[in-house]
Amino acid sequence: MLLCATLFIATTTMAQPNPITPAPLLFEWEEGELDIDKGLKLYIEENDEFTAEDYLRLEAAASQVGVAVKRVYKEPKSRYLRLRFGYGNFGEEGYAMTIDRSGVTITATYGAGLYYGLQTLRQIVEQYDPLPCCHIEDKPSFAYRGVLIDISRHFRSKEFLMRQIDMMARLKMNRLHLHLTDAAGWRIEIDAYPELTSFAAWRKPATWKEWWYGERGYVTEGTEGAYGGYLTKEDARELVAYAADRYITIIPEIEMPGHSDEVIATYPHLACTNKNPRQGDLCIGKEATFEMMQTILSEIIEIFPSEYIHIGGDEAGKGDWAQCDDCKRRMAEEGLAGVDELQSYMIHRIEMWLNERGRQIIGWDEILQGGLAPNATVMSWRGEEGGLAAAAAGHDVVMSPHGYCYIDAPQDAPYSQPESIGGYLPLERVYSYNPTPDTMPSDVALRVLGVQANLWAEFIVTDEHYEHMLWPRAIAIAEIGWSQRDVMHYSEFRERAIRIVDAMIEEGYSPFDLKNEIGNRPESKADVEHLARGKRVEYLMPSSYQYAPKYAAAGDATLTDGKRGTWTYADGRWQGFLGRGGVDVIIDLEEVTAIHSIAADFMQICGPGVFMPCLVEIAISEDGKNYTKIADIEHEVVVDELPSFKSFGWEGEAQARYIRYKAHRSRYSGFLFTDEIVVR
């Protein structure tokens, strides 16, 4: 199916670049062609290690390569599709493929390699008729190539998940991380606790945003207007089998101890004793918490055979624990120094319980806090630091840093995209990520299992929007996880990704239309020359008018360094101000100068709390003591859905050496971001 809408008939194959995604380790064009008009005869060499299930999987995959295939049991001499298993040293997932005038031969050490070889053949068939003769040798760079799909914030059906599994398999991805539980809804049936799906899986406001900024309540299944849903155990088992047939492992995530508002609302005896009416962290002081989590996990491991069970571990507030009698007693009894060690106590205990049942835990990098459980694997999301620390300590790591792998941000000019969490993460930025750069010590790099894209669904209501955000950026993650760096070239990849996207659209998927990409903010593409460039900027006291260390950009040089910001405040160009004040700076032009305009841009992205100023004051001085105000620019700040950018400035004729630019925060708490004060 994939790429059939953009069939390309090659005439001089020798001049063609690699047509396969992810890019293979070796692709060599050879002379000649293979006519496939009459179909191919599928011959799978027998092997004692092959199971009946293996044969069925490969026969099903062969039937989808886009050419008529007939299974035969005697080795044919021509027009064959021959699968050879148990040969060579290709690793668990590698393969070799040769297309010559007689047929196609795919050789692998294991069944997964044959399956991936068939996916490569599928892409060739979809682009060429007849097939060009070629030789391919291929194996993945990383063992873990994954995608997280969040079905808690907005529920996704079994059928939707199967569609994404199909695409993942065609791109040689092998891990689907299902975010099954979170405050917004519990999404997996648990027999021992039926209220998790009859109550905690349903809410009145359909959108996460309405619910989160409202009462955050839950309703009983069947209530008029209730929104929600969940996977039954039968659904989940069907998904596991469907994914396994495509050599994909589903990793379930059961969040603990944080992000557990829905559990506490349903079973309030698991709350801490300090009576906070809105608690999201399970009480670690209560044995009932462990009894419930272990019972839930017992049912989870019966459904999901994956080695890893994801236990979350991120963003626990921990404030209630410090005020809870049960938690304080637990800390005293266990000799724990504080709430970080209390969380570590829980992680250790859950890990031991799972290890005894033959499973391993994986969690977000906050599980490092208070001491990492002995056998835990870390998924590093807040940057790479957590992953590096865990790997250096001898733990396996999956890299998923926010700045490259959190694909819930807009992938094109934000004004052109549906509402999202904010920021800007284009395909090129995702593709640039290297999980094991040359600067990483080799012993640490060996601990990096792979890479994962995470797509959180707070602002993603519909299935169509979810696919729009997922593809094609997940295609980039697939190539990062599979291909060697020396065969990765963005310009070539982009052309291949456009071809895949166009075909997906023809098939009924809803990916981002890459070929019509607008691109980065025009102002950011070249440095700007102006009178204040390189001039000293004085940040006035008090400290409430100082930039936030996390968003310092180039520090004191930022506002006159000539570099304009991109579509995102996290690009190291926008400078962020958080506090009671706002922006209050003086620029020294070094001599009295004729000026006719002073302006600075601000952005507004309400989701993460970035707002325009409500007032901008501009004043000038020749001596640095006596200032004349030349502009009062008022602005009504209103909460809106889409990101916006606005210039606040003055135009006229004046003489000045010093310019004071002051931007006031509005009534909304949050950041002010500006990138350059341009003086002309």
Element (H, E) at 662: strand 644-664
Instruction: Check if 182 is active-site.
Output: yes
Length of the chain (residues): 680
Catalytic residue, from 315, 340, 341, 513: name it.
Answer: 315
- CA–CA dist 49, 390 (Å, integer): 37
Provide the residue type at 610 as one letter. Answer: V
CA distances 204 to 212, 215, 459, Å, are: 11, 10, 16
Biggest distance spanned by C-alpha atoms of the chain: 97
Q: Label residue 450 left, alpha or beta by phi (over 0 means left) and psi (-120 to 50 means alpha).
A: left
Give Cβ neighbours of residue 638 (< 8 Å, ≥ 6 apart). Answer: none
Strands 582-604 and 644-664: antiparallel
Strands 249-256 and 308-312: parallel
Catalytic residue, from 138, 182, 412, 458: name it.
Answer: 182
Q: How many CA atoms lie within 13 A of 235 on its CB side?
A: 15
- CA–CA dist 463, 404 (Å, integer): 23
- CA–CA dist 567, 565 (Å, integer): 7
Strands 397-399 and 448-455: parallel
Evaluate whether 606 touches 667 at the Cβ level (below 8 Å).
no
Residues 461-489: b if buried by 16+ CB within 10 A, e if exposed:
bebebbbbbbbbbbbbbbbbbbbeeebbe
Evaluate whether 657 touches 592 at the Cβ level (below 8 Å).
yes
Q: Label residue 222 left, alpha or beta by phi (over 0 means left) and psi (-120 to 50 means alpha).
A: left
Evaluate whether 348 touches 302 at the Cβ level (below 8 Å).
no
Provide the residue type at 345 as one letter. Answer: Y
- CA–CA dist 383, 402 (Å, integer): 6
- CA–CA dist 535, 586 (Å, integer): 10
Q: Label residue 247 left, alpha or beta by phi (over 0 means left) and psi (-120 to 50 means alpha).
A: left
Element (H, E) at 664: strand 644-664
Q: Label residue 167 left, alpha or beta by phi (over 0 means left) and psi (-120 to 50 means alpha).
A: alpha
Instruction: Check if 315 is active-site.
Output: yes
Catalytic residue, from 154, 177, 179, 259: name it.
Answer: 259
Q: What angle do CA 387, 388, 393 make, to 5 degrees?
A: 100
Evaluate whether 443 touches 393 at the Cβ level (below 8 Å).
no
Instruction: Check if 635 is active-site.
Output: no
Closest by CA position to 451, among listed 470, 430, 466, 465: 430
- For the annotated catalytic residues, the residue numbers are 182, 259, 315
